[in-house]
Amino acid sequence: MDVTMSQNSKTEYLEKMRWRYARRTGKAGKSALIDEFCEVCGYERKYAIKLLGGRRRPPGATKHKVGRKATYDQAMAPKLKEIWMLAEQPCGKRLKPVLPMWLRSYEKRRGRLGTQVRSKLLKISPAQIDRVLAPYRAEQPKRAILPPRNNALKEATPVRAETWDVDEPGWLECDTVAHCGGAMDGSFVWSLCGVDIFSGWTEVGAVWNCGQHAVCERFGDLERRLPLLLKGVDTDNGGEFLNWHFHRYFQGRDPAVELTRSRPYRKNDQAYVEQKNYTHVRQLLGYDRLEHEELVEPINQLLELWSKWRNLFSVTMKQESRIRQGARLIRRHEKTPQTPCQRLMDYWQKQGERKRVKKLKSMMKENDPIAMKEEIERRLTEITRQKAKLESGPPSSRPSTLRSEDREEGARPTTTKPKKTTGPSVSTVLSQREAA
């Protein structure tokens, strides 16, 4: 190797050697040329082969952009980002099927887009959506693990140790979410969540203190909002479900509703509703402690609107098959993601139930996704302000940590302070949305 050889000399020498290498025939001849090139420049053999073949730039060479001109320019990216933010930041595969629907609503409220921009938005692929939106994505907060509840009356409901394999709507999984801020003592707001396994249609409501009567009453409200007939309900082992109030609610029905429960400490038995606990509850309300009874009704109205928006205009990816190959579990999802509403309409269309299809179509026509999203944000802001006002009030107006069952027995309130939350609060979630 000539140690005095400059980089410019090496670059000139490389151009000459590339010309010779391209015209040299035979393995032995090319090998001898490579040996010479490595000896002169001091390069490693594999690297020298790539340089001579044109697959690597020489050291110190000016970088130049390779490839065709970008199809999706800066004029389209802000519009796509705005629609993506309004649609609650779905991935490309979930945003692509509903993009025409959202685009119509967007143009109706914000003005018609240019022909070129509109054409690009309709033609863009799911992978390209993810690439364009990559700079705008933010990390989501991790979900906190709450302490499990396991109460009595388990013998009243059989255990379901496997996932329901259903091909029709009406089979529901239910669960509750505690807005306790990490401390289970005292009184606070709970969320009741129910998801239809076949379609993914999800309804959520708020309840104070997770009592047996309150949960049963709220479940009745959720059922009235469902566009389908119940065939089965699966719950966990919490006392809010395993009680006679809840069981009597389903007695004497025609057709009968099958009640089952999951195995203790096996969250995967209720995988569908556990997923919705995060996407439909925690992503909206966060992990803060909600210990004011005055917030129950505003939160319940917010969750009702949020559930309708999710069911009508938010796409879900349904799992079609699950195959185990040794230690690997291979999951296949539907190629074209759909909203829960579209999935129900397709099913009832095949069954010939035109009235139900017509009802859902009118529901979609009456509601505007962007208007609903703006109303959701407005209500969430109002709840945050109301919560801050209640927390800053005099001590007499703040709720005690006495449980509802203790109040009936005349016990004294405790002075235990709630622990700090391990996740973001409602105000934090709201500020993250505004910053985005």
**Euclidean distance between the first and the last CA atom of the chain, given in angstroms as a whole number:** 56
H or E element: which one contains 388? helix 369-391
> In the prediction, which pLDDT does 227 show?
92
Nearest to 390 by CA among 298, 310, 304: 298
DSSP H/E element including 261: strand 258-261
- Taking the domains of the chain in order of start, what are their residue ranges? 7-52, 77-136, 154-405+421-435
Query: Residue 260: which of 277, 274, 281, 242 has the closest Cα?
Result: 242
What DSSP string runs through 191-240? EEEEEETTT--EEEEEEETT-HHHHHHHHHHHHHH-SS---EEEE-S-TT
Report pLDDT for 407: 36
Query: Buried (b) or exposed (e) across 276-315, using 16+ Cβ within 10 A?
Result: bbeebbbbbbbbbbbbbeebbebbbebbbbbbbbbbbbbb
Q: What is d(CA 162, CA 228) in angstroms, rounded to the nearest whole number?
A: 23
CA distance 29 to 396: 94
3-state DSSP assignment of residue 367: coil
Q: Which residue has the tokens 């990816």?
A: 317
Q: Kindly report the number of other CB atoms within 10 A of residue 87's CB atom.
A: 22
Residue 278 tokens read as 């995060």
Per-residue pLDDT of the chain (436 residues; tens, 9 = 90+): 445 678 888 888 888 888 888 888 888 888 988 888 888 888 888 888 888 888 777 666 555 555 666 777 777 888 888 899 888 888 889 899 989 999 889 988 888 888 888 888 888 999 999 988 888 876 545 455 544 444 445 666 767 766 667 788 988 999 999 999 988 888 999 999 999 999 999 999 999 988 888 999 999 999 999 999 999 898 888 888 888 888 888 888 888 888 888 888 888 888 888 989 999 999 999 999 999 999 999 999 999 999 999 999 998 888 888 888 888 888 888 888 899 999 999 999 999 999 999 999 999 999 999 999 999 999 999 999 999 999 887 655 555 443 433 333 333 333 344 444 445 555 555 555 555 4
Which region, left, alpha or beta, applies to residue 352 given φ > 0 means left and ψ of -120 to 50 means alpha? left
The CA distance from 204 to 303, in Å, is: 6
The DSSP letter of residue 279 is I
| CB-based burial label for 235 (10 Å; 0-12, 13-18, 19+) | buried
Report d(CA 73, CA 70) in Å as an integer: 6
> For residues 179 and 190, what is the distance between their CA atoms, to the nearest angstrom?
6
**Assigned CATH class of 154-405+421-435:** alpha beta
Which of helix, strand or coil describes residue 52? helix
Measured distance CA(143)–CA(422) in Å, rounded: 9
Concatenated DSSP letters for 122-183?
HH--HHHHHHHHGGG--PPPPPPPPPP---S-GGGS-B--S----SSS-EEEEEEEE-BTT-
Residue 336's pLDDT is 85
Asked if residue 255 has a cis previous peptide bond (ω within 30° of 0), the answer is yes
Q: pTM above 0.85?
A: no
